[in-house]
């Protein structure tokens, strides 16, 4: 049986807490890496009491506890819960609301979730308004005090990396009696801690940076408070079954140990790449909040610490044809969806999202990985020469 993790010392830097996986040592063996508990059921003693307090793996698998407690510590929340995917975690949060509740979400956000909200979410009875969340007045005027139960934001947001003022939206939510949830997948707690800025929930596609190796699907919710709403979310996960598997949870903990070095390295590279291509004659625009000309730069500089993230987009001259030509000519950048892995990815979002996509047809989204940035710049330069 594993020892309880020591309460993280407040004077320890989050990177130290992550690198040591909360300092958890296996009580029985002294192992510094935890075992994987594959058991789906737990035994009872002769008086029919549960021996270890657990009954069944769907609501309660011990392998999930260490990565959950680590993520809660990094985000500064009271608790975290792991889900089978980022979508499963987000959908569970929306399903914890009641039919008739009003939700405000951004127009610019992960498209799969926007689709779910405006399709299944509405069918399920949620009233959903999409706004430009980078404009605080737009959020404030969409909110219906008493009826709005949740404001959802993503910052910097897919795929134009628009920046939303988290503290500003938190104040609007508080005044209206609504809760604020922030998709923190892209900045991660390394660069942004939404709970400290007034958010109630943080969501992650842990498939991305938290794991960091493009080899598992996972999601997470982190709560500022372990209140009744949080208990309902845990109950929905346990009964609905959108829980993470034990092996994935174990892999995720392994990935999170290196989160800080990966995110910081990739953010430095992304800034170098953005600065290199800013003003390039073959490009319409470079979209990256680390560039001073980006409309969200001032807010990003205030609420992000230590970097602007490793995601950027290039708008290529020549429309969709130009963008697809550049993508085709890249040798090092992998043409694939997703983000947050060690390998750099390049994606033509409009092709992936289909004809209804609001994304500009000339836009290539880049997820900067851990390669030498000079190699990545050289590969894009030679591809741009095709235009």
Catalytic residues: 58, 110, 183, 208
Least distance to ligand PLP, CB of residue 183, Å: 5
Q: Contact, 370 vs 265, CB < 8 A? A: yes
Q: Which of 86, 289, 296, 369 binds ligand PLP (CB under 6 A)?
A: 86
Least distance to ligand PLP, CB of residue 214, Å: 12
Q: Residue 352 interacts with ligand PLP (CB under 6 A)?
A: no
Q: Return the number of the residue (152 or 277) whose C-beta is nearest ligand PLP.
A: 152
Q: Return the number of the residue (73 or 88) whose C-beta is nearest ligand PLP.
A: 88
Restricted to residues 110-139, the positions that interact with ligand PLP (CB under 6 A) are 110, 112-113
Q: Residue 160 interacts with ligand PLP (CB under 6 A)?
A: no
Q: Residue 211 interacts with ligand PLP (CB under 6 A)?
A: no
Options 35-43, 84-92, 342-350, 369-377: segment touching ligand PLP (CB under 6 A) = 84-92
Q: Which of 8, 121, 194, 219 binds ligand PLP (CB under 6 A)?
A: 219
In DSSP terms, 88 is beta-bridged to none
Q: Which of 164, 207, 211, 269 binds ligand PLP (CB under 6 A)?
A: 207
Q: Residue 217 interacts with ligand PLP (CB under 6 A)?
A: yes
> What is d(CA 220, CA 182) in angstroms, rounded to the nearest whole number?
12
Q: Which of 75, 160, 183, 285 binds ligand PLP (CB under 6 A)?
A: 183
Q: Contact, 363 vs 348, CB < 8 A? A: yes
**At residue 98, what are phi and psi to the nearest 5 degrees?**
-110, 150
**At residue 360, what are phi and psi to the nearest 5 degrees?**
-60, 140
Q: Residue 205 interacts with ligand PLP (CB under 6 A)?
A: yes
Q: How far is CA 279 from the centre of its chain?
A: 30
Q: Which of 2, 66, 69, 85 binds ligand PLP (CB under 6 A)?
A: 85
Q: Return the number of the residue (8 or 289) whose C-beta is nearest ligand PLP.
A: 289
Q: Residue 194 interacts with ligand PLP (CB under 6 A)?
A: no
Least distance to ligand PLP, CB of residue 206, Å: 7
C-beta atoms surrounding 291 within 10 Å: 21
By rule CB under 6 A, what string of x and - marks binding of each residue 262-291 to ligand PLP? ------------------------------
Q: Residue 87 interacts with ligand PLP (CB under 6 A)?
A: yes
Q: Residue 377 interacts with ligand PLP (CB under 6 A)?
A: no
C-beta atoms surrounding 21 within 10 Å: 20
> What is d(CA 376, CA 379) in angstroms, rounded to the nearest whole number?
5
Distances (CA, A) of 318 to 65, 286, 325, 337, 362: 50, 15, 9, 22, 7
Of 352, 354, 350, 346, give the one whose Cα is nearest residue 326.
Answer: 346
Least distance to ligand PLP, CB of residue 219, Å: 5
Least distance to ligand PLP, CB of residue 50, Å: 32
Q: Contact, 114 vs 90, CB < 8 A? A: no
Give the sign of the dihedral formed by CA 122, CA 124, CA 126, CA 132: negative
Give the sign of the dihedral formed by CA 347, CA 349, CA 353, CA 354: negative
Residue with smallest beta-carbon separation from ligand PLP? 86
Options 105-113, 122-130, 282-290, 297-305: segment touching ligand PLP (CB under 6 A) = 105-113
Number of residues that bind ligand PLP (CB under 6 A): 16
> What is d(CA 157, CA 315) in angstroms, rounded to the nearest whole number?
16
Q: Return the number of the residue (146 or 241) whose C-beta is nearest ligand PLP.
A: 241
- DSSP per-residue codes, 153-190: EESSBTTTTB---HHHHHHHHHHHT-EEEEE-TTTHHH
Q: Edge-to-edge strand order for the sheet containing 283-287? A: 283-287, 311-316, 363-367, 345-348, 334-335
Footprint of ligand PLP (CB under 6 A): 85-87, 110, 112-113, 154, 158, 183, 185-186, 205, 207, 217, 219, 338
């Amino acid at each position: 049986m594993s020892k309880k993790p020591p309460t993280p010392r407040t004077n320890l830097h989050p990177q130290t807490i992550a690198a040591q996986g909360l300092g958890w040592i296996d009580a029985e063996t002294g192992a510094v890496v935890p075992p994987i508990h594959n058991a789906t059921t737990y035994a009872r003693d002769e008086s029919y009491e549960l021996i270890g307090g657990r009954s069944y793996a769907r609501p309660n698998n011990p392998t999930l506890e260490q990565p959950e407690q680590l993520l809660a510590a990094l985000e500064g929340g009271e608790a975290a819960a792991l889900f089978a995917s980022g979508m499963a975690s987000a959908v569970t949060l929306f399903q914890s609301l009641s039919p008739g509740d009003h939700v405000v979400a951004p127009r610019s956000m992960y498209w799969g979730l926007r689709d779910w909200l405006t399709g299944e979410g509405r069918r399920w009875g949620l009233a959903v308004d999409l706004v430009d969340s980078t404009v605080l007045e737009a959020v404030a005027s969409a909110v219906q005090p008493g009826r709005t139960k949740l404001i959802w934001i993503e910052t910097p947001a897919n795929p134009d990396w628009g920046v939303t003022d988290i503290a500003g939206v938190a104040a609007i939510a508080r005044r209206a009696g609504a809760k604020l949830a922030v998709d923190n997948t892209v900045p991660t707690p390394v660069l942004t801690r939404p709970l400290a800025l007034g958010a109630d929930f943080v969501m992650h596609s842990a498939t991305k940076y938290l794991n960091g190796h493009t080899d598992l699907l996972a999601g997470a919710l982190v709560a500022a408070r372990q209140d009744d709403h949080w208990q309902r979310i845990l109950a929905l996960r346990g009964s609905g079954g959108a829980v993470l598997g034990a092996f994935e949870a174990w892999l995720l903990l392994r990935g999170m140990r290196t989160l800080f070095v990966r995110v910081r390295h990739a953010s430095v590279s992304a800034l170098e790449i953005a600065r290199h291509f800013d003003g390039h004659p073959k490009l319409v625009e470079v979209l990256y909040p680390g560039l001073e000309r980006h409309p969200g730069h001032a807010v990003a500089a205030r609420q992000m610490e230590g970097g602007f993230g490793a995601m950027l987009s290039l708008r290529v001259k020549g429309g969709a044809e130009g963008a697809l030509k550049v993508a085709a000519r890249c040798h090092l950048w992998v043409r694939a969806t997703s983000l947050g892995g060690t390998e750099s990815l390049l994606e033509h979002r409009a092709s992936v999202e289909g004809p209804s996509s609001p994304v500009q047809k000339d836009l290539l989204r880049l997820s900067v990985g851990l390669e030498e940035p000079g190699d990545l710049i050289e590969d894009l330069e030679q591809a741009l020469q095709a235009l």
